[in-house]
């Protein structure tokens, strides 16, 4: 593999008129015949040879306009095949043999249990056949699949089924036609013995669309929530964006073996079964939420991704940022908007901010990649969604909708760029987004410094804003960005005050910082006020504002923006934690101030006003989140110290609130059957948070956990109790884990939870237990969900036990990465990225992490996925 650069982009010199695939499935191999009708573009390089991508393909024959080519008439290498002499228009037929059973990378066509399925994004299609495997080459597909009828009764591809054939020798064939020209990354094929749940959806203009969810037979009864979610998403996209589905059929296939969450192949989504299957007895509220949002995300791609696709992979955020924004808006409408926003920002800070500050930092529209699979990142997805949200904020909802309409009117059926999207937004809204475009090009999280001046005599408040954008690998001395800052002010008694800004009286203003520094002047400020800035997290920046405990308590209690209430709580915790860290380092005794405790106590006392929000506020930052906080302030992370300080803080907060937590636990017990609806979800969340706090008391803690486990009647409650048990109590949790294993040994998805709970255990012997579990008959390094549940959860979700001082956690991870390098480099690359933050740690952790990275780098023939990450981490 070699580096790819955005600046080198060139259009393809040929036009692909149509693609015909004939896929013949046999015992241990699959033969693929591709029929490509092509024409040289007269506006391209008329001398250019024809290059088709193709990897790991065994050539059975190549025909140009019906003539079998001799091997000397083309040149094959590891990347593909080149033809130096092709006519202006021609038909090229290639026949290749591939081996899905040995494809453990799960890219291209592979075996997943008893079925065969595909994953082509980003560059997997080239492992199926020779092809111009690039997103700007689009063609209508005609696909014929032939297989044994007993082993593979169901044969699926994109579009509409047009023909069935019965063949000799118990074989059959099905033909599919997709009338919408599409790039190869949206191709899909599934063959297997699958159960099918059917339903239908009537579009706004009265067409009936058949909906089908395919699963293994034993999971057929677990699709109802996914189906309901799909119909909600279809309705929402019509209501909010005026977008209807376009084919006669919409199919979803669930598989246990999948690298990602799901894939939006045209008309035939393929999903990790984690995001399809759910019953109250086996799935948590989090699982139900995940399914609703991923089903929606992939459905929304039909317009933002498929109808309008990307010109090259540097533009990935064109479809992903936009589609994440759309699924966020959808979830906000279906569930609690404020909780959704809080959770998304929390995850942005936990995943994207560190990425943006680390060796893999890249802009939302990256400029170079070695391995495209490494750029399906929090930056492209989640920061990308924040960019769309800022455009939404800057233009306003109506203009944003007009911009979307214009975007589709201009670009439907085309492969375009982020720039095309911004231009459509600009043209439709009249807003000037010229400076805003820097957000796509500059990496790094801007830091927004705020100070205030209050002239009591004049009743004038001045906000001084300044932005700093940190250097990132390959990018220095950046230009100021456009930062939209939703702003309000509160009196000390919690009233949102009416202020005068540039002659306009209002209670909330949208300030837009466009330069390095700027001051904003407000009049009519006769009493002291507390500023509430960046409301709703109106820009993906780090806010530095000197508010004291009293001021933060005002916002925590009274801010009319729920997000900023939560944010005030966070600032309070972070300030307190920082103070405790200083005390700890200076050898002073640590004290959590009374007024901090009182502020959180007030939240808990009033929890019934908004249980969902209270649960978010009272859910304290994880150790991992605290690492990021320290790293952002250039304080080297000492995992032992973070653990000690955090435990001290939690204890100090738990003790005075004990009776309140007990009361809350009782108050939140729900009666009756499990229903997945926002009100119940938030009650369960608060109840299980109460349990977390109650479990911390040495004498009574485990009693609470046992009791909660006994009365748990849904998986949400069960998992909450089981996780706490696994942290705190060896004997008790062993019994619970055995019962759980016995009950769910047949259910792969539920067993993922069983592995994960143990990997997350805070008990000292967790690494040994994880190693032992790798030998469990249900564990497999070939299954990405299992790797994530056991190894991923341990290394990224259990920092205290992973970041051992002796480096044993890192050595363990390095061995797993080397193993994955030969099996599944995509998953391996995710695992190795956990070490990217090594420079932010204190010694000896820092050197131990580096040692693990160097050990990985020593391996010869390392996959480009892992090599790119390791090289950048060590650069």
> Distance (Å, rounded) from C-alpha 279 to C-alpha 396?
39
> Distance (Å, rounded) from C-alpha 173 to C-alpha 189?
13
| Rg of the chain taking only CA atoms, in angstroms | 28
Q: Considering the rule CB under 6 A, would residue 297 count as an interface residue with ligand DPP?
A: yes
Distance in Å, CB of 580 to ligand DPP, minimum: 40
Q: Considering the rule CB under 6 A, would residue 653 count as an interface residue with ligand DPP?
A: no
Q: Which of the choices ligand DPP, Zn ion, none does residue 478 contact, using the CB cut-off of 5 to 8 A by kind?
A: none
Cβ neighbour number for residue 93 with a 10 Å cutoff: 19
In 3-state terms, what secondary structure has residue 668? coil
Q: Which of the choices Zn ion, ligand DPP, none does residue 727 contact, using the CB cut-off of 5 to 8 A by kind?
A: none
Given 121, 264, 292, 298, the catalytic residue: 298
Contact stretch for ligand DPP (CB under 6 A) within 49-57, 100-108, 293-301, 520-528? 293-301
Distance in Å, CB of 126 to Zn ion, minimum: 21
Q: Considering the rule CB under 6 A, would residue 123 count as an interface residue with ligand DPP?
A: no
User: By C-beta, is 317 or 796 nearer to Zn ion?
Assistant: 317
Instruction: Establish how many alpha carbons lie within 13 A of residue 303's alpha carbon, considering only the half-sphere containing its beta carbon.
Output: 22
> Distance (Å, rounded) from C-alpha 471 to C-alpha 269?
39
The first and second tokens of residue 331, run together, are: 């979830």
Distance in Å, CB of 276 to Zn ion, minimum: 16
Residue among 121, 289, 371, 616 that touches ligand DPP (CB under 6 A): 121
CA angle 442, 444, 450 (to 5 degrees): 110
Distance in Å, CB of 421 to ligand DPP, minimum: 17
Helix ranges (DSSP H) in 335-448: 337-347, 353-356, 378, 384-395, 397-411, 418-429, 438-441
Contact stretch for ligand DPP (CB under 6 A) within 124-132, 295-303, 648-656, 853-861? 295-303
> Distance (Å, rounded) from C-alpha 588 to C-alpha 652?
16
In 3-state terms, what secondary structure has residue 84? coil
Distance in Å, CB of 114 to Zn ion, minimum: 28
Residue among 112, 252, 260, 310 that touches ligand DPP (CB under 6 A): 260
Q: Considering the rule CB under 6 A, would residue 270 count as an interface residue with ligand DPP?
A: no
The first and second tokens of residue 452, run together, are: 């205030």
Per rule CB under 5 A, count of chain residues that contact Zn ion: 2
User: By C-beta, is 304 or 723 nearer to ligand DPP?
Assistant: 304
Phi, then psi, of 24 in degrees rounded to 5: -115, 115
Does the annotation count 582 as an active-site position?
A: no
Distance in Å, CB of 320 to Zn ion, minimum: 5
CA distances to 15, 76, 87, 299 from 270, in Å: 28, 31, 38, 11
Terminal C-alpha separation, the chain: 19
CA distances to 354, 587, 765 from 640, in Å: 20, 15, 16
Contact stretch for ligand DPP (CB under 6 A) within 296-304, 504-512, 587-595, 800-808? 296-304
Residue among 81, 263, 573, 618 that touches ligand DPP (CB under 6 A): 263
211, 200 contact by CB (below 8 A) = yes
User: By C-beta, is 387 or 461 nearer to Zn ion?
Assistant: 387
Q: Which of the choices ligand DPP, Zn ion, none does residue 472 contact, using the CB cut-off of 5 to 8 A by kind?
A: none
Cβ neighbour number for residue 196 with a 10 Å cutoff: 15
Contact stretch for Zn ion (CB under 5 A) within 3-11, 194-202, 323-331, 613-621? 323-331
User: By C-beta, is 245 or 490 nearer to ligand DPP?
Assistant: 245
> Distance (Å, rounded) from C-alpha 53 to C-alpha 51?
7
CA angle 65, 71, 77 (to 5 degrees): 105
Distance in Å, CB of 465 to ligand DPP, minimum: 35
Contact stretch for ligand DPP (CB under 6 A) within 261-269, 307-315, 810-818, 826-834? 261-269
User: By C-beta, is 265 or 402 nearer to Zn ion?
Assistant: 265
The first and second tokens of residue 752, run together, are: 């993922």
Contact stretch for Zn ion (CB under 5 A) within 318-326, 335-343, 694-702, 818-826? 318-326
The first and second tokens of residue 531, run together, are: 């500023």
111-131: string of b/e by CB count within 10 Å (b at 16+)?
bbeebbbbbbbbbbbbbbbbb
Contact stretch for ligand DPP (CB under 6 A) within 259-267, 386-394, 728-736, 847-855? 259-267
Q: Which of the choices Zn ion, ligand DPP, none does residue 260 contact, using the CB cut-off of 5 to 8 A by kind?
A: ligand DPP
Distance in Å, CB of 310 to Zn ion, minimum: 11
> Distance (Å, rounded) from C-alpha 569 to C-alpha 617?
6
Pairing verdict, β 262-263 and 268-272: antiparallel
The first and second tokens of residue 275, run together, are: 């995001």
Q: Which of the choices ligand DPP, Zn ion, none does residue 139 contact, using the CB cut-off of 5 to 8 A by kind?
A: none
Please name which of 815, 837, 832, 822 lies closest in space to residue 868, comparing C-alpha atoms: 832
Q: Which of the choices Zn ion, ligand DPP, none does residue 563 contact, using the CB cut-off of 5 to 8 A by kind?
A: none
Instruction: Establish how many alpha carbons lie within 13 A of residue 748's alpha carbon, considering only the half-sphere containing its beta carbon.
Output: 20
Residue among 133, 146, 237, 264 that touches ligand DPP (CB under 6 A): 264
Distance in Å, CB of 362 to ligand DPP, minimum: 17
- From residue 273 to residue 312, the character string flagging contacts with Zn ion as x (rule: CB under 5 A) and all else as - is ----------------------------------------
257, 110 contact by CB (below 8 A) = yes
Distance in Å, CB of 369 to Zn ion, minimum: 17
Please name which of 216, 221, 324 lies closest in space to residue 273, comparing C-alpha atoms: 216
Q: Considering the rule CB under 6 A, would residue 841 count as an interface residue with ligand DPP?
A: no
- From residue 342 to residue 381, the character string flagging contacts with ligand DPP as x (rule: CB under 6 A) and all else as - is ----------------------------------x-----
Q: Considering the rule CB under 6 A, would residue 320 count as an interface residue with ligand DPP?
A: yes
Cβ neighbour number for residue 679 with a 10 Å cutoff: 12
Q: Which of the choices Zn ion, ligand DPP, none does residue 551 contact, using the CB cut-off of 5 to 8 A by kind?
A: none
| Residues at the contact surface with ligand DPP, assessed by CB under 6 A | 121, 260, 262-264, 297-298, 301, 320, 376
Residues lying near Zn ion in the complex (CB under 5 A) are found at 320, 323
Q: Which positions are annotated as active-site residues?
A: 298
């Amino acid at each position: 593999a070699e580096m790819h650069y955005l600046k080198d982009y060139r259009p393809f010199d040929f036009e692909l008129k149509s693609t015909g695939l004939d896929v013949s499935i046999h015992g241990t191999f699959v033969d693929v015949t591709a029929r490509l009708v092509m024409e040289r573009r007269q506006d391209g390089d008329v001398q250019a040879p024809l290059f088709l991508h193709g990897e790991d393909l065994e050539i059975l024959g190549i025909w140009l306009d019906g003539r079998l080519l001799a091997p000397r008439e083309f040149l094959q290498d590891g990347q593909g095949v080149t033809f130096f002499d092709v006519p202006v228009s021609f038909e090229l037929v290639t026949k290749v043999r591939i081996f899905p059973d040995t494809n453990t990378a799960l890219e291209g066509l592979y075996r997943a249990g008893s079925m065969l399925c595909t994953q082509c994004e980003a560059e997997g299609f080239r492992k199926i056949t020779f092809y111009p495997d690039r997103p700007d080459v689009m063609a209508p597909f005609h696909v014929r699949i032939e297989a044994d009828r007993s082993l593979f009764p169901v044969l699926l591809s994109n579009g509409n089924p047009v023909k069935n054939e019965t063949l000799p020798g118990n074989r059959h064939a099905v033909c599919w036609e997709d009338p919408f020209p599409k790039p190869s990354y949206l191709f899909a094929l599934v063959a297997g013995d699958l159960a099918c749940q059917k339903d239908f959806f009537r579009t706004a203009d009265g067409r009936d669309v058949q909906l089908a969810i395919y699963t293994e037979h034993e999971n057929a009864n677990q699709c109802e929530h996914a189906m309901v979610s799909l119909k909600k998403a279809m309705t929402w996209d019509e209501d909010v964006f005026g977008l209807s589905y376009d084919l006669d059929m919409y199919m979803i296939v669930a598989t246990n073996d999948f690298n990602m969450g799901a894939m939006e192949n045209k008309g035939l989504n393929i999903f990790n079964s984690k995001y399809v299957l759910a019953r109250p007895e086996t799935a948590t509220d989090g699982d139900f939420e995940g399914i609703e949002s991923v089903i929606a995300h992939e459905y929304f791609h039909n317009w933002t991704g498929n109808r309008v696709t990307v010109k090259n992979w540097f533009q990935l955020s064109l479809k992903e940022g936009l589609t994440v924004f759309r699924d966020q808006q959808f979830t906000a409408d279906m569930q609690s908007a404020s909780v959704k926003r809080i959770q998304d920002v929390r995850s942005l800070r936990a995943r994207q901010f560190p990425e943006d500050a680390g060796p893999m930092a890249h802009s939302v529209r990256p400029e170079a990649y070695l391995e495209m699979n490494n750029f399906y990142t929090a930056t492209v997805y989640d920061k990308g969604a924040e960019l769309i949200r800022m455009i939404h904020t800057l233009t306003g909802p109506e203009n944003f909708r007009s911009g979307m309409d214009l975007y589709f009117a201009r670009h439907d059926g085309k492969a375009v760029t982020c720039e095309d999207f911004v231009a459509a937004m600009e043209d439709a809204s009249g807003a000037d987004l010229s400076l805003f475009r820097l957000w796509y090009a500059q990496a790094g999280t801007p830091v927004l410094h705020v100070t205030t001046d209050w002239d009591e005599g004049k009743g004038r408040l001045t906000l001084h804003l300044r932005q700093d954008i940190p250097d990132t690998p390959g990018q220095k001395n950046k230009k100021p960005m456009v930062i939209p800052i939703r702003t309000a002010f509160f009196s000390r008694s919690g009233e949102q005050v009416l202020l005068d800004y540039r002659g306009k009286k209002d209670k909330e203003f949208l300030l837009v910082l466009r330069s390095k520094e700027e001051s904003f002047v407000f009049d009519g400020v006769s009493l002291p006020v507390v500023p509430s800035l960046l409301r709703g997290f109106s820009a993906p920046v780090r806010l530095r504002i000197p508010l004291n405990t009293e001021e933060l308590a005002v916002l925590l209690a009274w801010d009319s923006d729920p997000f900023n209430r939560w944010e005030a709580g966070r600032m309070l915790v972070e300030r307190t934690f920082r103070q405790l860290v200083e005390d700890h380092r200076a050898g002073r005794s640590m004290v959590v101030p009374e007024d901090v405790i009182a502020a959180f106590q007030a939240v808990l006392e009033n929890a019934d006003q908004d249980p969902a929000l209270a649960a978010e506020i009272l859910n304290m930052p994880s150790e991992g989140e605290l690492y990021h906080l320290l790293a952002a302030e250039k304080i080297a992370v000492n995992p032992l110290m973070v653990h000690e300080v955090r435990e001290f803080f939690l204890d100090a907060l738990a003790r005075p609130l004990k009776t309140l937590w007990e009361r809350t636990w009782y108050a939140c017990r729900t009666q009756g059957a499990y229903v997945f609806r926002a009100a119940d979800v938030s009650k369960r969340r608060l109840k299980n948070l109460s349990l977390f706090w109650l479990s911390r008391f040495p004498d009574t803690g485990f009693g609470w956990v046992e009791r909660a486990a006994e009365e748990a009647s849904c998986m949400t409650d069960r998992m909450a109790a089981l996780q706490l048990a696994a942290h705190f109590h060896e004997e008790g949790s062993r019994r619970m884990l055995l019962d759980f294993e016995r009950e769910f040994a047949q259910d792969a998805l539920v067993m993922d939870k069983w592995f994960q709970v143990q990997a997350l255990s805070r008990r000292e012997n967790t690494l040994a237990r994880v190693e032992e579990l790798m030998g469990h008959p249900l564990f497999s390094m070939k299954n990405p969900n299992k790797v994530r549940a056991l190894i991923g959860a341990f290394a990224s979700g259990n920092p205290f036990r992973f970041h051992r001082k002796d480096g044993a956690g890192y050595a363990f991870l390095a061995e797993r990465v080397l193993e994955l390098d030969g099996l599944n480099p995509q998953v391996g690359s995710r695992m190795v990225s956990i070490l990217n933050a090594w420079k932010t740690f204190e010694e000896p952790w820092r050197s131990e992490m580096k040692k693990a990275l160097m050990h990985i780098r020593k391996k010869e023939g390392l996959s480009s996925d892992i090599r790119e990450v390791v090289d950048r981490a060590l650069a």
